[in-house]
Amino acid sequence: MSNITATAVSGLPRVYELSRAELGRWCEEHGIPGYRADQIRRWIFGKRSNSFPEMHDLPAALRGLLAESFSLFPGKLVDHRVASDRTEKLLLELTDGELVECVLMREPERRTVCISTQVGCGMGCVFCASGLQGLKRNLTTGEILEQVLRLDRLLPREEAITNVVVMGIGEPLANLKALLPALESLNDKGGLGLGARRITISTVGLPEKIRELARLGKAYNLAVSLHAPNNTLRTQLVPVNDKIGVDAVLQAADDFFEVTGRRVTYEYVLLSGVNDGPQQARELAKLLQSRIAHVNLIPMNAVTELSYVEPTAPRTQEFVRVLEQFGIPATVRKRKGADIDAACGQLRLHQLQTAAVTSPELVVLTPP
Ligand code: SAH
């Protein structure tokens, strides 16, 4: 994995790549009082500043030094789409030319952002657009935060981000090293000040990484992408399951619950005729019956390149009914931004495909 991170980025580092403590040290090394770090971070996280010169309560020399040493938003906005439900999606080009997606979703009382943690994904889930071209590299802490900060700047002054879901492109637990400091800055009072309970990390289910997350003592929410109630079906849909197995995933999730006291959500994508039958609902219910769990059913979000489709509404309702019969709370995820390719990885994929027509050096998509 280290060679993946090593290829990362070019140009000046984003100033928020540094934690509060690191920025404080940087200040001190340059003969600047440490409290200036708080001021700088307030401009970025609180006052939505877009440039160093406008940070007018900092001495001019410091503003100059910051501009020489750091960048703020070096990503290039390649596409910005607004859906009819006001979901907004950004496609950002990173300094090495890689593409990354992030989404802002609005509900009456919530503004949730969905962020990516990797360029592409190595997990290979057969229904997901993000992994169709494999994993390119991990994102850095700054690249993860740039997504949140840019989406935050789309909101009017009186509104703030209320929730963050790490459910964009990539497997977050395969990049904990960069993700955790980013979440720390979101959680930090001098950062975005977002409660840990408002941050959800979705994982394919990497047992040791789930335990590592639990040991942090943070109240982050964990969502585990189960998608099937037995190994045969899960391995077919989520190939990494072959090396892990449903039992090991559930045991790690149990440990997470035991250590953190946080109820685990199990995500289950509903694929018509594949994993959406009442028999599978019963099998899933039996698996989760003894656990404090919640099931989030995600009707398949159509991906042009893939043949999986969502089940009919009555079949979905039947699945929910069976789970509820067994006392398992279940919800069906509402679709957001359906008219703007908002399912994770789709916009990037389509951009790559368009680019492939004109730039032969880019990988041309070969659907499985
Ligand atoms: N790697 C993480 C994050 C993936 S995205 C994980 O595996 O959890 C968040 C959720 O969306 C996952 O449950 C993922 O399996 C699901 N998903 C991916 N593609 C989808 C699609 N086309 N339709 C519905 N859900 C999808």
> Given ligand 1 and candidates 123, 126, 127, 332, which is best to mutate, with the most ligand atoms within 8 Å of its CB?
127
pLDDT at 357: 42
CA torsion through residues 38, 14, 115, 201, sign: negative
Q: Evaluate whether 148 touches 161 at the Cβ level (below 8 Å).
A: yes
Instruction: Enumerate residues 6+ apart whose C-beta is below 8 A from 38.
Output: 20, 190
Q: From ligand 1's centre to the CA of 96, what distance in Å?
A: 26
Q: What is the pLDDT along the chain (368 residues), one digit of tens a residue?
A: 333 443 445 689 999 999 999 999 999 999 999 999 999 999 999 999 999 999 999 999 999 999 999 999 999 999 999 999 999 999 999 999 999 999 999 999 999 999 999 999 999 999 999 989 899 999 999 999 999 999 999 999 999 999 999 999 999 999 999 999 999 999 999 999 999 999 999 999 999 999 999 999 999 999 999 999 999 999 999 999 999 999 999 999 999 999 999 999 999 999 999 999 999 999 999 999 999 999 999 999 988 889 999 999 999 999 999 999 999 999 999 888 777 766 667 778 777 776 654 333 322 222 22
Catalytic site residue from 27, 114, 125, 344: 344
Atom 4 in ligand 1: which residue has the minimum CA distance? Answer: 167
Active site residue 125: no
Pocket test for ligand 1, best of 105, 128, 316 (most atoms within 8 A of CB): 128
Distance of alpha carbon 70 from alpha carbon 126, whole angstroms: 40
Among 113, 173, 206, 225, say which to mutate for ligand 1: greatest number of ligand atoms within 8 Å of CB. Answer: 225
127 lines ligand 1 (CB under 6 A): yes
What is residue 345's predicted lDDT score, i.e. its pLDDT?
A: 74
Q: What was the pLDDT predicted at 346? A: 73
CA–CA distance, 197 with 321 (Å, rounded to integer): 28
Whole-number pLDDT of residue 32? 97
CA distances to 88, 255, 267, 361 from 350, in Å: 17, 39, 25, 16
> If you measure from the C-alpha of residue 269 to the centroid of ligand 1, how many angstroms do you get, rounded to a whole number?
7
∠ CA 274-234-339, rounded to 5°: 55
Can 344 be counted among the known catalytic residues?
A: yes
167 lines ligand 1 (CB under 6 A): yes
- Cα 203 to ligand 1 centre (Å): 9
194 within ligand 1 shell (Cβ under 6 A): no
The Å distance, Cα 290 to ligand 1 centre, comes to 25
CA–CA distance, 101 with 91 (Å, rounded to integer): 5
Q: What pLDDT was estimated at residue 347?
A: 72
